[in-house]
Amino acid sequence: MKIIDKEILAIDTPRVMADYDIMLANIQMVHNHARRYMIDIKPHVKSHKCLDIARIQLDEGAIGLTAAKCDEAAVFFNGMCKSFTIAYPLVEHHKIQRILSSTKQFGLDMSLIVDSEEGFEAIALMAERQNVKVKIYLKIDVGLKRCGLPADDQRILKLSKKILEHKQLELTGLISHAGHVYRAKNIQEVIKIAQEELKILFSVRKLLLDFDIETRRISIGATPTLLTGIDLQGISEIRPGNYIFLDRLSWKLGLIAPEQIALTVMATVVSKNKSYFIVDAGSKVLSSDTGAHASKILEGYGLAYPAEKYLEEDYRMKITALSEEHGFVSRSGFDLPIGSRVRIIPNHACPVVNLTDSMVVHQKGMIKNVWKVHARGKVL
């Protein structure tokens, strides 16, 4: 399958690459699904960390952006959009102060999340000091068991009342992330998790409504649940991140075809022996991630193909080990000369992007642009 031209084969390696047309098709696919239910899209920038991609998402109908960390979000406080969600529990005063200062400075519509008394008290105090209005989502645990309040937790009602009573805070609604979907073994399990997420959120909404507390918005994340095409009636907003690139895990779960994967890594065979081709992409390029949220369904650290045989099944090779600067590609019944280029599908696209300063963007086999990863390493 001829996908790339000699111009791309000649690039210096290892190099993270994004196929423009595939990425745009992925964006439009998920955004169109949201439009069918007339719900908002607020993409998570953690997957790309790139201003150029954020602009495309906004042009395709996103109402704002979601970020995890304060420094990551700040990269996008540049006038490109006014609505932001920090989908991460902020509990430290200095971090909340930074976000609220930016909220005032740039006139932002800012939403934060709460899943504890400590988080509420910290945000309430800083909102008073800064004299800033802040929208608050209650984070609900829908099965990941990472952050969020279980559906039967009495603090849900208690925190809701406290938020409603605070003059600087507005109870916007409920927010969740079904990240445990990445541990699913097949599409049937993905669908079950997606349905359970909605069931839990709707039950919490009903609980609050029984006490005359209205949750105006329900916001969900996690790309795999959206790729099932589930009924989104009753949902207000989606916050997909990985949907722009997709990766080996989405493919393994049966949610996509490999032709929908937009992010790949070009590498060079720098040595070889009886067991392996050794390439110049190690853990500092591919990451040592075997899948999001401790997924166990993948073996190895990615799939590699000779660059000119990309996606041809007879030429598929598994990356079975990584050192920092080297990848061990298991030989698969054919030979490659040293100096050959291989094209790699990573297990998990998000950490791969965060390991590079820039991405080569290609279209129809030719280099279109080089995009900077503006928020790379922004973890504070």
pLDDT of residue 4: 58
pLDDT of residue 302: 96
Q: 196-228 pLDDT, tens per residue?
A: 999 999 999 999 999 999 999 999 989 999 999
Q: Which residues pair with 367 in a beta bridge?
A: 362
The stretch 61-86 carries a mean pLDDT of 94
pLDDT band at 150 (very low <50, low <70, confident <90, very high): very high
Q: Is the pLDDT of residue 1 over 50?
A: no
Handedness of CA 239, 243, 247, 248 (dihedral sign): positive
The stretch 337-365 carries a mean pLDDT of 96
What's the gap between Cα 164 and its chain centre?
31
252 φ, ψ (degrees, to nearest 5): -60, -35
Percentage of the chain beyond pLDDT 70 is 98
Provide CATH code, domain 6-17+252-370: 2.40.37.20
Long-range (24+ apart) CB contacts under 8 A made by 195-200 are 195/230, 196/142, 196/143, 197/142, 197/143, 197/222, 197/225, 198/230, 198/234, 198/235, 200/140, 200/142, 200/143, 200/151, 200/176
Cis ω on the peptide bond leading into residue 337 (within 30° of 0)? no
Token reading at 268 = 């060079």
> Of 58-62, 104-108, 172-176, 290-294, which range is least confident?
290-294
pLDDT of residue 295: 72
Q: Which residues pair with 306 in a beta bridge?
A: 342
> Of 10-14, 76-80, 293-297, 374-378, which range is least confident?
293-297
The stretch 110-126 carries a mean pLDDT of 97
pLDDT band at 297 (very low <50, low <70, confident <90, very high): confident
DSSP β-ladder status, 237-238 and 302-306: unpaired
Instruction: Compute how many other C-beta atoms are within 10 angstroms of the C-beta atom of residue 202.
Output: 15
Q: Where in the chain are the domains?
A: 6-17+252-370, 44-240
Percentage of the chain beyond pLDDT 90 is 90
pLDDT of residue 365: 83
The stretch 176-191 carries a mean pLDDT of 92
Q: 227-273 pLDDT, tens per residue?
A: 998 899 999 999 999 999 999 999 999 999 999 999 999 999 999 99
Place of tokens 């649940």: 225
pLDDT of residue 296: 74
pLDDT band at 35 (very low <50, low <70, confident <90, very high): very high
Q: Is the pLDDT of residue 5 over 80?
A: no
Q: 318-348 pLDDT, tens per residue?
A: 999 999 999 999 999 899 999 999 999 999 9
Q: Is the pLDDT of residue 292 over 80?
A: no
pLDDT of residue 24: 98
Mean pLDDT of the chain: 94
Whole-angstrom distance between the N-terminal and C-terminal Cα of the chain?
Answer: 43
The stretch 98-103 carries a mean pLDDT of 95
The stretch 144-158 carries a mean pLDDT of 95
Q: Is the pLDDT of residue 67 over 80?
A: yes
Handedness of CA 108, 109, 115, 120 (dihedral sign): positive
pLDDT of residue 3: 53
Place of tokens 């908002």: 40
Biggest CA-to-CA distance, the chain: 70
What is the rounded distance in angstroms from the CA atom of residue 358 to the CA atom of residue 44? Answer: 19
pLDDT band at 294 (very low <50, low <70, confident <90, very high): low
- The domain made up of 44-240 is a member of CATH 3.30.360.10: no
What's the gap between Cα 263 and its chain centre?
13
- In 3D, which of 358, 349, 364 has the Cα closest to residue 376? 358
